[in-house]
Structure 1
Amino acid sequence: MADHHGEVAVQGPWSLATSRAFWEGFTPSALPRRDGGALRSEFLVEGEWRRASVSVTQAGATAVLSLSGDGDLDLAAAQVCRFLSLDVDGSGWPAVGSRDPVIAAAQAAFPGLRPCGFYSPYEAAAWSVLSQRTSMAQAARMKAALAVDGVFPPPASVRALDLDLPGRKPEYLRAVAEAALDGLLDAVTLRAMKPAAAVLAVQQVKGLGPFAAELVVLRGANAPDAVPYNEARLTDEVRERYGRPSAEVSEAWRPYRTWAAVHLRVLREQRLGGDRRAAM
C-alpha cells in the first residue's frame, strides 16, 4: 500500500471545521464522526474503483492531504480536492455576499463552508435511486446495508449483486453501475461540460430524472456554478426570501451559483428544522 502527502493552496474562504460539520450532518453520505480536528474518510477512487483513505487538516489557507491506498493516489488527491470543493478558486465568493445581503447572511452563519458530501457522481446517482419514493432514513439504511466496511461498493460489484431492494431500485441501481463503468458518470467529464448539458446527459441513465441528474452534477461532480431548478425546498426558500424566481436572483451569484444554493438550503433547514442538509 502506497502513501501520498501533499499540500493544496486554497483560494478564497475555507474552513475545514465548518465543512466537516456540514458533511457529518449530510444524510445522503454522512461523514463518520471522529475525534480530533482532521477530516478522515475512506472512498473509492473514481475510474479505478480502488479503496483509498485520506486525512485532511488545515494550516491557514493550506489543505494538508495524507492519503494511502493501492491505486493511483494522484487521482485520489484530485478527487479529494473535488469533493471538498478545494479545486475551486473561491476568492470571488465574498463579492457575492456584497451583491446579495441574503447570501451575506448565509456566509456569516456558515463561515468557510464549501459544498461537500458525495465522493463521486456514481455515489450521488446511487443515492438518488435508493432515495426515490422513500424516506431519507430508509434510504440511508439501504445504503449502509450495501456498504463494505463503510464504503459503498464499486460499480462492478453492484452490477453482480442480487439486490433485495423495493420496486425498480435493483434495475435502476444496476443501470447506474453500468453507466459508471462506461464512463458516463465521470466527474471530470461532467465538470468539463456546461451544467445544463451535463444534467441532460445524466438523464440518459435509466432511473435518473431531472432532480436526480441535478444532484449528480451539482453535488456528485460538485460543479460550482449552476442552479438546481427541480429542488422544491430551494425554490420555496428563494420565493420566500426574494419574492422572485431563482432564474432571476441567481444571476448575482455567478460564478458560485451552486455554493449559494447550498447555503440557502442549509439556512432553510436550520430555520425550519427537520432533516438538515438532506439534499442540495
Structure 2
Amino acid sequence: MTATTVDMEVRGPWSLATGRAFWEGFAPAALPAARGDDLTTVLLVEADWSRAEASVAQDGGTAAITVDGDGDLDAAAAQVARFLALDVDATFWPAVGERDPVIAEVQAGLPGLRPCGFHSPYEAAAWAVLSQRIRIPQAATLRSQLTDRHGDRGAFPAPAVLRGLELDLPGRKAEYLRAVADAALDGLLDGLALRSVPPEEAIRLVQQVKGIGPFAAELVVVRGANAPDAVPHHERRLDDEITARYGDGATVDSVSAAWRPFRTWAAVHLRAAREGRLHEFG
C-alpha cells in the first residue's frame, strides 16, 4: 500500500475532538474509541471501491488528512473531507446562532462540531435497508457481521461483492441490499453527484432505488452525501426536539429559514444535543 497526506485549510469553526466524540457515539457507523488526538477510520473509496485507511489530525485551522491504500488516494482524501464536512466553508455558521438563540445554545454546547456520519451515500443506503423495522442495535449487529464476513479488513463490502451475496436477512432486506449495490455501481449513489444538485432533487433521485423511501432517502443525502443545507422532514426525534425548544406548533419548516445555508448543520446539532441528553446517538 502507498500513503499520501493532504493539508487542507478548514474555513470556519472546527474541532476534531468534538467531531470524533460525536462519531464515536453514532450507532449506525460508530468509530471505535481510540487513544490520542487523531481520528482514524477504514473506508470504502467510492471512486473505485478500494479500501483505504484514513487518519485526520488538526493543527489549528488546518486538517492533515492521511490516506493509505492501493486505490485512488486523492479521491479517498476528498471523500474523507466530505464525510467530515471539512470541505464546507463555515465562516458564516456562527451567524446562524446570532439569528437563532436556540441554535446559539447548541453551538455553545458542541463547539466546533461539523456533521459527520457515513463514509458514503452507498453505506448510508445500506444502513437504511438494514435498519428498516428493527431496532438500531440489531441493525448495527447485522452491519458489523456483513463487514466482518464479506468486507475488506474493516471496510464495508463493495457493491460488486454485496450484490452477489446470498444473505439470510429479515423481510426483503437482501433484495433491497442488492438494489442498493446496483444503484451504487450505476452511479446513482455517488456522493459528488448528489451534492451537485439541490437536496430536494437528490432526495427524489435516491428514492428511485428499490427499498429506499422518503425517510431513508433523506438519510442518504443528509448523512451520506453530507449535504450542508438540507431539511429533514421525516425525523421524529428532530421534530420532538424542535417542539421542546421552540414550543408547541413549531415545525422544521417554520424555524429553519434562519438556518440557511446550514440547515443540515442546525438539524444535526439539535439531534446531537437531544441524543446527548438521552445518552445515545443514532
After superposing the two structures, state which structure 1 stretch, 74-83 or 230-239, moved more: 230-239
The aligned residue for residue 180 of structure 1 is: 184
The aligned residue for residue 102 of structure 2 is: 102
The aligned residue for residue 58 of structure 2 is: 58
Pairing 1:85-164 to 2, within 5 Å after superposition: 85-147=85-147, 148=151, 149-164=153-168
Matched residue type, 1:49: W
Structure 1 segments, 4+ long, off by >2 Å, are none
Please tell me whether the aligned partners of residues 47 and 75 of structure 2 are also in contact (alpha carbons under 8 angstroms).
no
Matched residue type, 1:113: L
Question: Which residue of 211, 229, 251 maps to 2:233?
Answer: 229
1:94-149 deviations in Å (ceiling 9; x for gaps): 00011111100101100000011100000000000000000000000000000033
Once residues 184 and 142 of structure 1 are traced to their aligned partners in structure 2, the CA distance between those partners, rounded to angstroms, is 24
Question: Which residue of 264, 267, 275 maps to 1:269?
Answer: 275
Once residues 81 and 121 of structure 2 are traced to their aligned partners in structure 1, the CA distance between those partners, rounded to angstroms, is 14
Give structure 2 stretches of 5+ with no counterpart. none
- Is 1:256 the equivalent of 2:280? no
Count of matched residue pairs: 276
Once residues 100 and 236 of structure 1 are traced to their aligned partners in structure 2, the CA distance between those partners, rounded to angstroms, is 18
Matched residue type, 2:265: W
Once residues 24 and 151 of structure 1 are traced to their aligned partners in structure 2, the CA distance between those partners, rounded to angstroms, is 17
Question: Which residue of 243, 247, 250 maps to 2:253?
Answer: 247
Please tell me whether the aligned partners of residues 31 and 117 of structure 1 are also in contact (alpha carbons under 8 angstroms).
no
Once residues 246 and 84 of structure 1 are traced to their aligned partners in structure 2, the CA distance between those partners, rounded to angstroms, is 24
Please tell me whether the aligned partners of residues 160 and 181 of structure 2 are also in contact (alpha carbons under 8 angstroms).
yes
Q: Tell me the CA shift for residue 240 of structure 1.
A: 2.2
TM-score for both structures, normalised by structure 1: 0.97
The aligned residue for residue 36 of structure 1 is: 36
The aligned residue for residue 68 of structure 2 is: 68
The aligned residue for residue 78 of structure 1 is: 78
Q: Tell me the CA shift for residue 20 of structure 1.
A: 0.3
Once residues 175 and 184 of structure 2 are traced to their aligned partners in structure 1, the CA distance between those partners, rounded to angstroms, is 14
Q: Tell me the CA shift for residue 159 of structure 1.
A: 0.4
The aligned residue for residue 49 of structure 2 is: 49
TM-score for both structures, normalised by structure 2: 0.96
Please tell me whether the aligned partners of residues 10 and 62 of structure 2 are also in contact (alpha carbons under 8 angstroms).
yes
Q: Tell me the CA shift for residue 245 of structure 1.
A: 1.3
The aligned residue for residue 22 of structure 1 is: 22
Q: Tell me the CA shift for residue 66 of structure 1.
A: 1.2
Please tell me whether the aligned partners of residues 155 and 177 of structure 1 are also in contact (alpha carbons under 8 angstroms).
yes
Please tell me whether the aligned partners of residues 47 and 72 of structure 2 are also in contact (alpha carbons under 8 angstroms).
no
Please tell me whether the aligned partners of residues 47 and 181 of structure 1 are also in contact (alpha carbons under 8 angstroms).
no
